[in-house]
Structure 1
Amino acid sequence: MRILLSAYACEPNEGSEPGIGWQWAIELQRAGHEVVVLTRANNRARIEDYFASTPGAAQPAFVYFDLAPWLVTLKSKGLLPLQLYYLFWQIFCVKVARQAAHHHRPELVWHITFGVIRVPSFLWRLGLPFVFGPAGGGERAPLRMRQDYTLAGHLRDGLRDVLNLISSLDPLMWLTFARSDLILTKTRQSARFVPWRWRNKTKVFLELGVRALGEEGPAGSGGSIRFLYAGGFIYLKAITLAIRAFAAFVRLGGVGRFTLVGRGPERSRAEALAKQLGVDALIDWVSWVDQRELARIYATHDVFVFPSLHDSSGNVVIEALSHGLPVVCFDLGGPAEIVTSDCGVIQSTAGLSAHAAAATLGRTLKALQDDASGRERLSSGARQRAEEFLWPRRVEAAIDLISGALSVGRAGVP
């Protein structure tokens, strides 16, 4: 299939949105599709350096576009908000996209990054089959689960709620939904963000993938257990709830250690909480590490604990599964879309305060320690689940979904 892929964020050897744009571009091309990537001119040097140093790599065609230099300067100096610059980019990239479409004759136009359901795309104007997403951002932490938030956390999530409400009434978003032939969302929560009249063409599809399965972790035993968290130490990741859950596990007679890998402003507060709850001596704090070292850490732990409250996806969850670690998470956001009963535990938060949910999570951790054979079964299921996210399988699943939903190959680009 010939695909014009709109990836504002697209850079090699990066995580988050730039990594998502890059991986889909490369993996689609590697799978035999003819891919043209529309991305920022700011990304050009890194992309060209990558291909110069990686002979034989699958190489899509790239088309570069940025706004006027003075607007780029204002953005880089923080005088123009990224969200506004991004909106302008989406508006004015259409002309360049139309030129690329005339030259490359794509059968499909696909907006992939930013994967945010609050900001419109205008590439439907090309008159070709148009896919929007996977988009997230419609996830929301229940108010009762914000119990451990600082004032800043409450303000950030309150502002996010307001912006989501405004965006849900945005006529430009409605136009994007109306003119999309297929809308992909990262989670069921984001799918509910799409107005009813366009839900029939909305599908949940996670944008994540993994290159290969990791080294398998140790076989479970009935003795001491090693829990692991990896990610940012920021309010929405709820590491204080992870600490409370681990403390509940210890109070129930659990024997084990808890490693937290990452960095961020919540660390000092979480360390103080661990000391207050009397579990600080059982917790190991590790600053952010590279992927090779993180892989070694995965392989020396038994269970991955990820209590995030409104992640749209969760790449570390798939990484943990690929190393055979069962994952324990709440029934919120992307992790709940990834984890199944065959590879972990999705802890319900229905009707619970954050502290009550953490206590329940602690009981789940104790049950996992007590059931070594069950943990081994979940470990096997974790690797099987991770296989579903190997990039060739993700690309195949996406193309099957798109081909089944759309009539590709319509002629003409106005």
Structure 2
Amino acid sequence: MGNLKILLCAYACEPGKGSEPEVGWGTAIVLAKKDTSNNYFVITRKNNREKIQSQNSPENLSFFYYELPNLFLKFKKAGNFTRIYYYLWMFGAVRFLRKRKINFDIIHHITFVNDWLPSVFIKLKNKRNIFIWGPVGSHDKVPGKFLFTNKEKLIEFFRIKLQWFFRRFDPYFNRCKNHSDLIIGINQNVNKKLGLNTDNFLVSPAIGMKKGVVNFDNSTCTEVFNVLSIGRLIHIKNFKLTLRSFSKFIDLIDKEKRKKVILTIVGSGNQKEELIKITKELRVFNNINFIEFLPQDQLMKLYNESNLFLFPTLESAGFVILEAMSSGLPIVALDYGGPGQFIKQRKEQQLVDPNLSIEEIENKISSLILRLFENKALRTEIGALNKNTILKEFTWEAKADKYINIYNSLLIKKPLHD
């Protein structure tokens, strides 16, 4: 493979921001650095231009910046219409690229990581190129026992129905499903959701870490036992369970030790006031520290100052899980979605069976926290194992190697320009 034109479709692509923007940026920058014999092109949004151009990109990596007219941007900002804007943006981006008249050999959809909205870039596929859809995925259906209010139940109901509608009726979704040369899912559940009866599917998580980031020496911890949790304060992140489990842990230790335990929650969202109210009802308000937002460098410093990462999320990914593991932290989470996928060792000391009752889950989480609280050597040992897992399997470098191998194998199956 050499001298190919490879298009990476990355609506979200921004260095230093984490989450999906980091997926776009991390994938593109490392692929181009490793695969210098080919030319990489990225189509992304105009609002990513400034951050991208402040970085040193390889010579074989070029960016196209496209945005819909201002009217659509105003519509996007007027409400929670990001997915609608993204869907329309792809149509405009395809038209934008066609005007450039570049014959791409490989078209690889990177972000959004979404398995119920199609990649409209499938319109660029023809008999002379290769189209890869993924990594794609979505949150699994939230078990009813984790939906504590009627509002949460209603939101979940409409979320599932909306996904079903697009998977059933969107013509571009069916084109992606039936005509992609390869579909990459973030987990095996994607295969089930899409109802695939094909061998052109493989599993590979979307997210990764820089090798240089996986070097934190978790040694700045003070006498205070710092528990960290990060994420948007919405129902799928399960912060109500986090607080109740933490409260039960507090009840297990004596009053003097309680003064030296802090749970820091970083994030904002529509549940914040309700969560603050819960901390008061549980009488742990003085042990909780809410922080709205931190830049990525300060966030990584906070990981380094923590002893444990508590994150019983119900989502399928979880960039923060990788960040915590790369910082040498033990994790306490549900054996569900992202955490269940990334934690490879000492699972029984970090993960809780989500099929237990809510009370059993809370008790199990609190007991795991207690054991790690009482045993510094165990925290250090598990943290080192987690860090090693990231270095072996979940760096951007490892992911780039995997993608390059995928490109080569697809080219063997389908030689170009014949």
The question of a shared fold, defined as TM-score above 0.5 by the shorter chain, is answered with: yes
Paired residue secondary structure (1:278): coil
Match of residue 341 from structure 2: 337
Structure 1 residue 241 displacement after superposition:
0.9
Alpha-carbon separation, structure 2, partners of 1:318 and 1:296: 15
Closer, same or farther in 2 for the Cα pair 1:307/1:63, shift >3 Å? same
Match of residue 177 from structure 1: 177
Alpha-carbon separation, structure 2, partners of 1:83 and 1:263: 20
**One of 304, 307, 323 as aligned partner of 1:299:** 304
Alpha-carbon separation, structure 1, partners of 2:276 and 2:76: 35
Match of residue 116 from structure 1: 114
- Alignment map for 1:6-405 (pairs within 5 Å): 6-31=9-34, 32=36, 33-40=38-45, 42-43=46-47, 46-47=48-49, 50-51=52-53, 53-54=54-55, 60-67=61-68, 69=69, 72=72, 75-76=75-76, 78=78, 81-98=81-98, 103=102, 105-125=103-123, 126-127=125-126, 128-147=129-148, 150-172=149-171, 173-198=173-198, 200-211=199-210, 212-218=213-219, 225-253=225-253, 255=257, 256-310=261-315, 312-342=316-346, 345-353=350-358, 355-387=359-391, 388-404=393-409
Percent of matched pairs sharing the same residue: 25
What per-residue deviation string (whole Å, max 9, x for no partner) do you get for residues 41-100 of structure 1? x34xx526743x445655612234445x37535634649944344333334544444565
Paired residue secondary structure (1:169): helix
Q: Contact 2:139–2:314 (CA<8 Å) still a contact in 1?
A: no
Deviates more, 1:133-142 or 1:75-84: 75-84
Alpha-carbon separation, structure 1, partners of 2:318 and 2:352: 16
Closer, same or farther in 2 for the Cα pair 1:34/1:274, shift >3 Å? same
Q: Which amino acid aligns with 2:214?
A: L
Alpha-carbon separation, structure 1, partners of 2:111 and 2:370: 40
What per-residue deviation string (whole Å, max 9, x for no partner) do you get for residues 121-178 of structure 1? 243442221110111224221112223xx44322221211111222332352222111
Structure 1 residue 24 displacement after superposition:
1.8
Q: Which amino acid aligns with 2:312?
A: P
Alpha-carbon separation, structure 2, partners of 1:323 and 1:87: 36
Q: Which amino acid aligns with 2:377?
A: S
Closer, same or farther in 2 for the Cα pair 1:241/1:65, shift >3 Å? same
Q: Which amino acid aligns with 2:338?
A: G
Structure 1 residue 386 displacement after superposition:
2.1
Alpha-carbon separation, structure 2, partners of 1:58 and 1:23: 16
Q: Which amino acid aligns with 1:361?
A: I
Paired residue secondary structure (2:247): helix
Deviates more, 1:375-384 or 1:270-279: 270-279
Structure 1 residue 111 displacement after superposition:
0.7
Q: Which amino acid aligns with 1:17?
A: E
Closer, same or farther in 2 for the Cα pair 1:62/1:146, shift >3 Å? same
Q: Contact 1:321–1:327 (CA<8 Å) still a contact in 2?
A: yes
Superposition RMSD in Å: 3.0
Closer, same or farther in 2 for the Cα pair 1:191/1:161, shift >3 Å? same
What per-residue deviation string (whole Å, max 9, x for no partner) do you get for residues 297-324 of structure 1? 21222110111112x3211111111110
Paired residue secondary structure (1:285): strand
Alpha-carbon separation, structure 2, partners of 1:80 and 1:219: 39
Q: Contact 2:252–2:370 (CA<8 Å) still a contact in 1?
A: yes
- List alignment gaps of at least 5 residues for structure 1: none
- Number of residue pairs the alignment of both structures matches: 400
**What is the TM-score of this pair, normalised by structure 2?**
0.84
Structure 1 residue 214 displacement after superposition:
4.3
Alpha-carbon separation, structure 2, partners of 1:79 and 1:363: 42
- List alignment gaps of at least 5 residues for structure 2: none
Paired residue secondary structure (1:197): coil
Closer, same or farther in 2 for the Cα pair 1:119/1:406, shift >3 Å? farther
Q: Contact 1:107–1:408 (CA<8 Å) still a contact in 2?
A: no
Q: Contact 1:115–1:135 (CA<8 Å) still a contact in 2?
A: yes
Q: Contact 1:75–1:82 (CA<8 Å) still a contact in 2?
A: no
